[in-house]
Amino acid sequence: MELHADDYQEIRDAVRRLCEQFPGSYWQALDRERAYPKEFVRALTGAGFLSVLIPEAYGGSGLGLCAATAILEEIHRAGCNGGACHAQMYTMGTVLKHGSDEQKQRYLPLIASGDLRLQAFGVTEPTAGTDTTRITTFARREGDKYIVNGQKIWISRAEHSDLMVLLVRTKAREDVARSTEGMSVLLVDMRQAIGNGLTIRPIRTMLNHATTELFFDNLEVPAENLIGTDGEGFRYILSGMNAERILIASECIGDSRFFIDKATSYAKDRSVFGRAIGANQGVQFPIARAHVQVTAAAEMVAKAARMFDQGKPCGTEANMAKMLASEASWYAADMCVQTHGGFGFAEEYDVERKFRETRLYQVAPISTNLILSHVATHALGLPKSF
């Protein structure tokens, strides 16, 4: 039987119960200090939610992306934030799909149990941006190790991860026939790397996302940490990127519903001129529009997740899901602040924090303009722009 994300009611209920232990005050305190939610991540790990995509043979639940989207949606609808740990769901797919049997046996059970944390995904660079083929971080093979030099930026959770999936060039772009060739994936042990060729510099942003810049200076990585075949790394990370976009889209669905829940409740309770403000169509209609938009976006997310689970090509669907969901959440966020008026800016109502958090998804992990470019050229056959 084909499952829809809405079919995982028991999982949704369990996630909601767990999230009740981490109310808005918990997240507000972390937000002020830009601190990592280690208690929340530990609770999710202990409940098995972060290992949902890892096969049972390696200690996970062996479920599909539809189940993972249900988990992340409920986390965000509850007012929590999955950004602190969602990478564990999709990043391990690179090891699962392309790693050796020895690598799977060595790492996946420990990731599933929480003894190893795989949260960092090192791809983006200052001079390459979303044009991944132009990365310049280079890994030179010397005997039984690679020597890595270069720089990465906008790498989240690097300070809170034991392992990092790192995309590097092992052949220069000008030395390969196609720009997508000559890239490789290394699994970096952060515990050994930091201070021995890897430097991490935190980047303070308008939201608490543990974002960093990485500097590699002759970092030695064992050759046995190469994932798959040297030079084939770009292909390996593509499926992980699709999973990332679908999962983040599900977070946006959760954010949208958080804002709608908040606005609806406030509009019912807030009384001005002797009646609830929700009786005014000027307040009702934006809330109703947000509900319509998120309902439609959720269907696109569910479709993309089903296609991913079925092994079908879903790059366009993953991108469309991310765009529709992020736009629905941003509209809902703006609507929620407007509904609350001045109270929407007050920390105690816990709207402004989520407002800042959901704004990120108009930009990351891929911007709306790049999604439109993908749809134009891949789905509609329009010529590529220069």
Cα 317 to Cα 131, 255, 304, 325, 334, distances in angstroms:
20, 20, 5, 12, 26
Q: Which residue has the tokens 């996970």?
A: 60
Closest CA to 164 of 185, 148, 183, 187: 187
Angle in degrees, CA 315, 320, 323, rounded to 5: 130
Encode pLDDT of 25-44 as tens digits.
999 999 999 999 999 999 99
* pLDDT at residue 317 greater than cutoff 70: yes
User: What is the rounded average pLDDT of the residues 361-371?
Assistant: 93
* 105: its two tokens: 């046996």
The residue to which tokens 């965000």 are assigned: 76
CA gap 225, 19 in Å, rounded: 36
d(CA 377, CA 319): 13
Instruction: Give the pLDDT band (50/70/90) at residue 12.
Output: very high
Q: What is the DSSP code string of 121-150?
A: EE---TTTTT-GGG---EEEEETTEEEEEE
pLDDT-based confidence at residue 1 (cuts at 50, 70, 90): very low
No. of H helices and E strands in the chain? Answer: 12, 10
Asked if omega into 23 is within 30° of 0 (cis), the reply is: no
Closest to 262 measured CA to CA, from 348, 368, 323, 178: 348
DSSP, residue by residue, 152-210 = EEEEETGGG-SEEEEEEESS-GGGSSSTTSSEEEEEEEHHHHBTTTEEEEE---SS---
Least confident of 4-13, 124-133, 325-334: 4-13
Q: What percent of the chain has pLDDT over 90?
A: 91
Mean pLDDT of 152-177: 96
Which H or E element spans position 212?
A: strand 211-222
pLDDT of 88 above 90: no
CB 258 within 8 A of CB 354: yes
Find the mean pLDDT for residues 129-154. Answer: 95
Tens digits of per-residue pLDDT, 196-213? Answer: 999 999 999 999 989 999
Paired tokens of 29: 């305190």
Q: How many CA atoms lie within 13 A of 225 on its CB side?
A: 21
What is residue 239's predicted lDDT score, i.e. its pLDDT?
A: 75
Average pLDDT, stretch 342-361?
Answer: 96
Q: How confident is the model at residue 6 (pLDDT cuts 50, 70, 90)?
A: low
| Residue 22 near residue 39, CB atoms below 8 Å | yes
* Helix (H), strand (E) at residue 254: helix 233-269
pTM for the model:
0.95
Domains of the chain as residue ranges with CATH: 5-113 (1.10.540.10), 118-231 (2.40.110.10), 235-379 (1.20.140.10)
Closest alpha carbon to 160 in 196, 121, 105, 186: 121
Cβ-based neighbours of 89, under 8 Å, separated by 6 or more: 50, 52, 53, 68, 72, 243, 247
What does each C-alpha distance from 8 to 2, 20, 66, 243 come to in angstroms? 12, 19, 8, 18
Say what the pLDDT of residue 4 is: 56
Give long-range contacts, CB 8 A cutoff, 24+ apart: 341-344: 343/266
Percent of the chain with pLDDT over 70: 98
Distance between CA atoms of residues 264 and 259, nearest Å: 8
